[in-house]
Amino acid sequence: KDREVFGPSCFVCTHIIYIISLSLSLSLSLSLSLSLSLSLSLFELCVESFNPCSSGNSLLRSPESLCLTMSHNPIDCRLPRRARSRAADISRGIDEQLSTVAGFMDSLSATLVVFFLVRGSSAAKFTLTNNCDYTVWPGVLSNAGDAALSTTGFTLETGQSKSLDAPAGWSGRLWARTLCATDSSGRVSCGTGDCGSGEVECSGGGATPPVTLAEFTLGGGGGGGMDYYDVSLVDGYNLPMLVVAQGGSGGGCGSTGCVAVLNRVCPSDLKVVAARSSSRGGEGVACMSACEAFGSPQYCCTGAFGNSNTCKPSSYSQFFKNACPRAYSYAFDDATSTFTCASAGYLITFCPSTASQKSSSQNPESSAGDEPTVAVRAAELAVSVAILVSSWLL
């Protein structure tokens, strides 16, 4: 209707004013200078386009060019040829301006998408280092609903390190497999921590106990920005592990882990020996949890023992706790075993050396080495006494 009443130029101006408003609103999200430049250019075009319909313009002094009646009711506005040509120029100018904005918007959108994808692609970097005097095969398992990391299993020779990026909100666990070998059919199997995939990549398979686990929930699992992490012996133990938060803030960012060598002093009831050994007195390669060894509810914290009021530390879990005070020793060992940090990277070291432990002021309160520590000896003695007393009472 506007086109019919006011003519092409006035119709263009009506839409130009709308575009000016839109352009000004773009200043909230686009470059201010670009937005203002666009607005001023459009305004200049609009003023010029209104000139043919202006009562003060010489072009409109003829009766047929009059835009308004004496009663101010709109009538047909017949534009002279010069005005129509100018309106066409204005239309082309608007098209060029809008084309520039559209191109900029496309470029900006692509840039923002890339920016947020890159920004959100990595919330934490895990650096896994093998200080053991043997090869290990780390495994990675994402919790249900979380994306898998770039690898779920790989080989790590002595002295080697490998970094993995984890996205915001990721949760899962990492561990080291040991004594892995490939059979004649090409299937990979490991003496401890095997994930059952038959390959170096675990591909969604979890670790078979007994195994030392590092567990992470980045960003609090849905907000808050705080990472939660721990080292768990709830599924047993297969090698020493140290987790150190790097470059983080808030929450304490304490180091945790189990740096004691327990396989040699593991209670006989819990000891896992090498496959080539024919008796329980053979070389220990891992140390089971009491839950894994006996399967009873009081050790597994299941059934009637499925809460913190009824599931208490046992003499077996106390063996692990005495040796590794900051690691989980049983399911409800939260108070001294969960650590928090924000915006950190994490160094996960298998078989950490004594030197690396001394370099951190927040290391676990146990020393590592080839010989059992006093705490481990005391824990082993306590377990032995408890077993003897239980046998005598029965």
SS3 201: coil
Higher pLDDT, 134 or 115: 134
pLDDT in tens, 352-392: 974 444 434 333 443 333 444 444 455 555 545 454 444 44
**145 and 112 in a common domain:** no
Q: Phi first, then psi: give them for residue 183, nearest 5 degrees.
A: -85, -175
Q: How many beta carbons lie within 10 A of that of residue 338, not counting itself?
A: 15
For tokens 């705080």, what's the residue? 226
Share of the chain above pLDDT 90, in %: 52
87 pLDDT above the threshold of 70: no
56 pLDDT above the threshold of 90: no
Residue 282 structure tokens:
């053979």
138 pairs with which residues across the strands? 176
**207 and 155 in a common domain:** yes
Q: C-alpha angle with apex 206: 205 to 207, nearest 5 degrees?
A: 130
User: Region 114-136: what's the mean pLDDT?
Assistant: 76
Final residue before a domain boundary, out of 85, 102, 120: 120
User: Region 31-55: what's the mean pLDDT?
Assistant: 45
Predicted model pTM: 0.63
Q: Which residues contact 121 (CB under 8 A, 6 or more apart)?
A: 165, 167
**322 and 242 in a common domain:** yes
pLDDT at 382: 53
**Range from 38-42, 106-110, 209-213 carrying the lowest mean pLDDT:** 38-42
**20 and 93 in a common domain:** yes
Contact 53, 77 (CB under 8 A): yes
**153 and 291 in a common domain:** yes
Final residue before a domain boundary, out of 120, 136, 171: 120
Integer Cα distance of 175 and 196 in angstroms? 14
Question: What average pLDDT does the structure give for the chain?
Answer: 75
Integer Cα distance of 338 and 36 in angstroms? 54
Share of the chain above pLDDT 70, in %: 56
**141 and 104 in a common domain:** no
Q: Which domain holds residue 181?
A: 125-393
Q: How many beta carbons lie within 10 A of that of residue 159, not counting itself?
A: 10
Q: Which residues contact 260 (CB under 8 A, 6 or more apart)?
A: 240, 323, 324, 366, 367, 368, 372, 373, 375, 376
**334 and 218 in a common domain:** yes
**Sheet strands side by side (includes 124-130):** 161-166, 124-130, 345-350, 241-246, 256-258
**157 and 109 in a common domain:** no
Final residue before a domain boundary, out of 70, 102, 120: 120
pLDDT at 372: 46
**268 and 251 in a common domain:** yes
SS3 224: coil
273 pLDDT above the threshold of 80: yes
Number of separate domains in the chain: 2
pLDDT at 79: 52
**10 and 130 in a common domain:** no
**250 and 196 in a common domain:** yes
- 362: CATH: 2.60.110.10
**73 and 133 in a common domain:** no
pLDDT in tens, 138-175: 999 999 999 999 999 999 999 999 999 999 899 999 99
Residue 31 structure tokens:
């470059």
pLDDT in tens, 295-352: 999 999 999 999 999 999 999 999 999 999 999 999 999 999 999 999 899 999 999 9
